[in-house]
Amino acid sequence: MNDQLQKRVVEALAERRKNWGGSDAKFANSLGINPAAYSRIKNGDTTNVLSDANWISLARRLGVQLGNEREWKVAITGAFQFIMGQLEFCKVNAASRLLCDAPDIGKTFTARHFAATQKNTAYVDCSQVKSKQKLVRHIAQSFGVGHTGRYGDVYADLVFYLRALPQPLIILDEAGDLDYSAFLELKALWNATEGACGWYMMGADGLREKIRRSIEHKKVGYTELFSRYGSRYQRVSPDTEAELKQFRMAHAAQVIQANAPGTTDIQKLIIRSDYSLRRIYHELRKEA
């Protein structure tokens, strides 16, 4: 861990702390570091505070790149504006919404950006925490609540803390990957935090189909969960193939304009990437 990278991690740590509504101790716990170690870092002492492995882990949690990769700048696309507006509404009003939309339109980027710039907001990649216990423990850690003890205590402490926080929001990305027991636990968490916590569930068409099929087959919990998330599949992209192509083309152009060098041929890059934001990202990395 060189000094330059360590400095970037410390800067990111200070920036993230600005958007954290809890105590220093809970902030440190949310990032998996000892509160005493965080206190030393906060006061400018980084000598032998953390091992290289812990610095790297901290960099990962804060989104600090280990290499000299290009910083991905925000493009104010239609999808970005729509999702940001919905997230803000859910946060302020302790509401819940369910977004099922086309892949590769910037859903994850937008959700991560919102979570990184707002207090008391947790972003969860459900593909990494598919089971009930992993999901709840991960959410608890994201808010700095103890997450390693008896599961019943972790759950109870999380509910208690969420009800005490001002305007907490939990963003559930890739929600279609969750196990059945995790979906049932989400319903229980929603019930326990009703009126006190906002929830935003996101996924592609697979999530919509999973919920629709489960409701059709009368699988316990899905009808109630769908109702709690607004009884509607939110969507920003158009349904028809021709309109979706135009939508993707416009988004691709905006993302390139925000991130590419001035010499980039935007139209050629759009065609070469086939309107895919992921491919555009990889193409721009080559130019970094």
- Average pLDDT score over residue span 233-238: 95
Could you confirm whether domain 78-228 is CATH 3.40.50.10780?
no
Task: pLDDT band for 284, please (50, 70, 90 cuts).
Answer: confident
The answer to whether 75 and 266 are in contact (CB under 8 A) is no
Do residues 76 and 109 lie in contact, with contact meaning Cβ atoms separated by under 8 Å? Answer: no
User: 69: pLDDT confidence band, cut at 50, 70 and 90?
Assistant: low
User: Looking at the predicted structure, is the pLDDT value of residue 84 above 60?
Assistant: yes
pLDDT digits (tens, 9 = 90+) for 101-118: 999 999 999 999 999 999
Write down the pLDDT at residue 288.
Answer: 56
Query: Is 57's pLDDT higher than 90?
Result: no
Whether pLDDT at 47 is above 60: yes
Averaged pLDDT, 144-154 = 95
- Assign 96 to helix, strand or coil: strand
pLDDT by residue (tens digit) across 119-139? 999 999 999 999 999 999 999
Domain limits, the chain = 3-62, 78-228, 241-286
Q: Is the pLDDT of residue 48 over 60?
A: yes
Residue scoring higher pLDDT (274 or 79): 79
Q: Would you state the pLDDT for residue 122?
A: 96
Asked whether residue 71 carries a pLDDT value surpassing 80, the answer given is no
**Sheet of strand 169-173, all strands in order from the earlier edge strand to the far edge:** 96-100, 198-203, 169-173, 121-125
Q: How crowded is residue 163: how many other Cβ atoms within 10 Å of its Cβ?
A: 14
Confidence grade of residue 68 (pLDDT, cut at 50, 70, 90): low
Instruction: Report the b/e string of 15-54 with b at 16+ CB within 10 A.
Output: ebeeebbbeeebbbbbbebeeebbebbeeeebeebbeeeb
Say if residue 263's pLDDT is above 80: no
Question: What is the arithmetic mean of pLDDT over 181-206?
Answer: 96
Distance CA(244)–CA(98), nearest Å, equals 20
Instruction: Look at residue 87 in the predicted model and tell me its pLDDT.
Output: 98
What is the model's pLDDT at position 1? 65
Q: What is the mean pLDDT of residues 43-64?
A: 88
Pairing of strands 169-173, 121-125: parallel
Is residue 65 over pLDDT 80?
Answer: no
Beta strands per DSSP E along the chain: 96-100, 121-125, 169-173, 198-203
Do you know the residue count of the chain?
288
